Every structure is written in C-alpha cells, then in structure tokens.
Amino acid sequence: MLVLTVDTSTPAVTAGLVRLDDAAAATVAVRVTSDARAHAEVLTPQILQCLREAGATPTDLGAVVVGAGPGPFTGLRVGMATAAAFGDALAIPVHGVCSLDAIAAQARADAEGADAAAAAAVAEDFLVVTDARRREVYWARYRGVDRVEGPGVAAPADVAVGAAGAAAGSPDHVAAVGLPVLAPASPTPWGLVAVAADLLAGGVEPASLEPLYLRRPDAAEPRPRVPAAQVRA
C-alpha cells in the first residue's frame, strides 16, 4: 500500500510517501519546508513532487495519514484539510494521528541504530516537545512504546518531566526543558505511518478527523454589537 503522509503541526511543512507492506514501512519520497507561514503555499506542491519522484499518480494511493497535532490553529488546519481533500477525492481512508506520537516512533527507530545512551533513553521515560508559541511547548511523555502522559501545553518550567532522561522534538524547546536532545525535530513520514500501521494493515475504518488544538485559536469571531440603548437599560 502506498500511503500519503502530511504534517503541518510544527514549522516544518512535511509531505511524504511511505510504502507499507506486511506492517513494514519504507519511505519512498519526502519533502520538508521549514517555514511556519508557508503551509498553504507549499504543501500541495510538495505532495505532487513526491508523487513525481515515486513515479506514482494520486490514484496509486491507498490511504492518507495526517498529523493531527497538537499544533497552532492555522497551520494544523491546512494540513488536515489537505489530507481530507485527497481522501475525499480518491475515496481512500484518512487516519489522523497524534504528531507527538509520530516523533516518538521515529525517535525509537533512530535510537535502535544509535549509541547505547540513546537506546537506553527511549527504552525508559522520554519526552517529545514542540513549539506551541507564547513561550509555551506542546509535550507528551513516553515509556518505551507507550504514551504515559499528555499531550499537553505548558510553559517549559511546568512540563511534567517525571523520570524522563531525554527529549525529541524542537531542539531549542527541548533545551528549555533542560534535557538532552534526541532526533527527530518534527514528525516524519515514516513516523506517521508507524503510528497508524496496525490500523492501515487491518483495514480499520478511520475515526473522524479531530485536530488537537489544546487551546483556543488566537483569532476569534467578533461578538455581536449590543445597541447602546440596551446597554443603558
């Protein structure tokens, strides 16, 4: 199965194609643009570039996996709307996964081929931390393959570090939490598919796409104006 992956939960606008066979995933193509303001402009062109690199067409896709956040409102909405549009147009399932889980999955895979210290870090408690703006971070804590706390949003000093000995995600924000940095810095196509692999392999009907905003958007619709006569009354 050829799976389209999309994530716009961080400043890294990520699109990729992953081949999933017998629950084993292999990245076929990937495009990443680091620009928090360019989600809408670059995402679809990146998807088309990945298809061209793979020698594939949209009709070759069997499913879509999209990072559902947590992430800022505007960027996250672009990725999820794009994923939903491809799914609707092609009549293929669209699975939303926690973007922090995707980073954690990739961190575990990377650590297997790294030094003993990295392997030990992801075998025990570790964090995933990304930029939530407003001097805050999105975070979750993992123990082995399980997420044991989060996702949440907090100031770095208020993150529930627990027994975590390292953290993956945005290096600047990991440093603010005060832990050694693990790769990767943002969700990868392989990590996104790894989180959804069992669902994809089993042909499970996807749940409704629900973005993990964790807080209200900065922009809000203006409230109706109350006539002055009613205010005086």
CATH of domain 100-182: 3.30.420
pLDDT tens-place string over residues 53-95: 999 999 999 999 999 999 999 899 999 999 999 999 999 999 9
* Domain range annotation of the chain: 2-98+187-201, 100-182
Cα–Cα dist 11/37, whole Å: 8
Q: Is 203 helix (H, G, I), strand (E, B) or coil?
A: coil
Partner residues linked to 67 by β-bridges: 97
Helix axes 99-112, 189-201, angle to 10 degrees: 100
CATH of domain 2-98+187-201: 3.30.420.40
User: pTM for this one?
Assistant: 0.89
- pLDDT tens for the chain, 233 residues long, are 999 999 999 999 999 999 999 868 999 999 999 987 888 899 999 999 999 999 999 999 999 999 999 999 989 999 999 999 999 999 999 999 999 999 999 999 998 766 677 777 777 899 999 999 989 999 999 998 899 999 999 999 999 999 999 999 999 999 999 999 999 999 999 999 999 999 999 999 999 999 999 975 544 455 565 555 554 55
